[in-house]
Amino acid sequence: MDKVSLLKKKNEEALKGGGAKRVEAQHKKGKLTARERLTLLLDEGSFQEIGAMVTHRSRDFGMDKEVYLGDGVVTGYGTVNGRLVYVFSQDFTVFGGSLSETHAEKICRIMDLAMQNGAPVVGLNDSGGARIQEGVVSLGGYADIFYRNVRASGVIPQISAVMGPCAGGAVYSPAITDFILMVEHTSYMFVTGPNVVKTVTHENVTSEELGGAKTHATKSGVTHFACANELECIENIKKLLSYMPQNCEEDAPVYAYEAGNELRTKLNTIIPANPNQPYDIKDVIEELADVNSFVEVHKDYAENIVVGFARIAGRSIGIVANQPAVLAGVLDIESSRKGARFVRFCDAFNIPLLVLVDVPGFLPGTDQEWHGIITNGAKLLFALSEATVPKVTVITRKAYGGAYDVMNSKHIGADMNYAWPTAEIAVMGAKGAAEIIFKKEIADAEDHEAKLKEKENEYLEKFANPYGAAARGFIDEVILPEETRVKLVAAYKMLEQKADSMPKKKHGNIPL
């Protein structure tokens, strides 16, 4: 066989993966192959493969008789909407996508190139775990990947799509990356599988119940997106990338925007007359953001806080908003962690922040205290205090107690703070405050209820408004709700060249 024919034959062999039967089995499970996924993700004709001829080096347990080009992972680079992205896609048709020494080396090579050239890494995970025939070298391969994940954190965006099994040590690479996407019914993540769980704890649980997409989207918060199918998963990856810069030295892409009437009159009637009545903060977000630009992150987890990306006048922003429609918008352990993680991502990649505040305080109770609401609440406080990107706050209604401070108050470095006329900025709610401040007067009164109501109204008149804070400069401007988008467009334009930095140090010690 001549040399050109040999090359063609090897290239054809590499494209086959584990062979037609295994590809068919993959399709029967409702899953795409490694290469089909990359075709959907990357711009047409842009993929450049690296390491297609790599094979494993194992000679034990008959492995020398079973060799596949590429060794279970397709690696390379291409573009998504014209922007450079490095990719690896595990091939379940080859040894179940198991990670060998060479498989890991291919992934590490891609991550090294991504770091050197300042571009995101997208990993499509579909693997049975470490290749047991190789023993410790496959475990070492995982550690090599983890190390690079950590080194790349905050330098380049890292996105993990779990599109099949991801178990044992394999879960820790996605866990270190910035965003995890899972596919419902065909993917799962867990450190120990159902069989081990049953042996150790005697619990009967399926893979889906233990670590499926729905479980991690609602219960653990491990995954940021639970996708109905692989196509939706890949579309979400593309959408996410559009809000991010290529690396920490750049800004996110700016999209063309034609200014029009920026007043949003619907906002004038969005706050209910009854201060205890809920409303959906997502309705506010939709009015403030460019049309159809809001992408919610962690949608089904800790729903009392809403986080996600949007655009205002074509520019990427990250939104953190209390959700009065769920638990009255209180901050608790899960919502504090969720908000803090998102804030730190935005700060790492120069994405300005918008914080919408309607928070009655922190959730009380033994469960919260015993599970660390103090240190978990401090995570959100730390993240917003640490952030040096442009930070703008709008208080729509309640801003009570320590939660007022935590939710991007002027005191922790917010650049611009706005309040609607409906804003209530106080240490606590009027009823509780009146019961403490006027305890004796209420006790001495003939009609306790009437006196309490009188003192409650007195407290409301004094503190249940934004003007005391505005008088002190803690609020820059009290604005009509309809003006909010106008103010935000101007504020972010003004803050474009903001330059701020933390004191010189190795890194802070966030209360993990």
Q: What is the pLDDT of residues 251-260, one digit of tens each?
A: 999 999 998 9
pLDDT, position 180: 98
Tell me which residues are annotated as active site. Answer: 168-169, 402-403
How many helices (H) and strands (E) would you count in the chain? 20, 17
What's the pTM value of the predicted model, to 2 decimals?
A: 0.94
pLDDT, position 242: 98
Residue 297 sits at φ, ψ, to 5 deg, of: -110, 140
pLDDT, position 312: 98
- Both tokens assigned to 455: 């003192």
DSSP structural state of residue 219: I
- CB count, 10 Å around CB of 366? 7
The span from the CA of 19 to the CA of 174, in Å, is 28
Q: What is the pLDDT of residues 203-259, one digit of tens each?
A: 999 999 999 999 999 999 999 999 999 999 999 999 999 999 999 999 999 999 998
Containing H/E element for 125?
strand 121-125
The span from the CA of 229 to the CA of 219, in Å, is 20
Strand partners, 88: 75, 123
The span from the CA of 271 to the CA of 482, in Å, is 12
pLDDT, position 289: 98
Greatest alpha-carbon span in the chain: 107
Q: What is the pLDDT of residues 28-85, one digit of tens each?
A: 999 999 999 999 999 999 999 999 989 887 877 777 778 889 889 999 999 999 999 9
The span from the CA of 291 to the CA of 311, in Å, is 9
Distances in Å between the Cα of 145 and the Cα atoms of 111, 150, 173, 370 are 8, 9, 7, 35
pLDDT, position 56: 83
Identify the CA nearest to 421 among candidates 312, 267, 279. 267
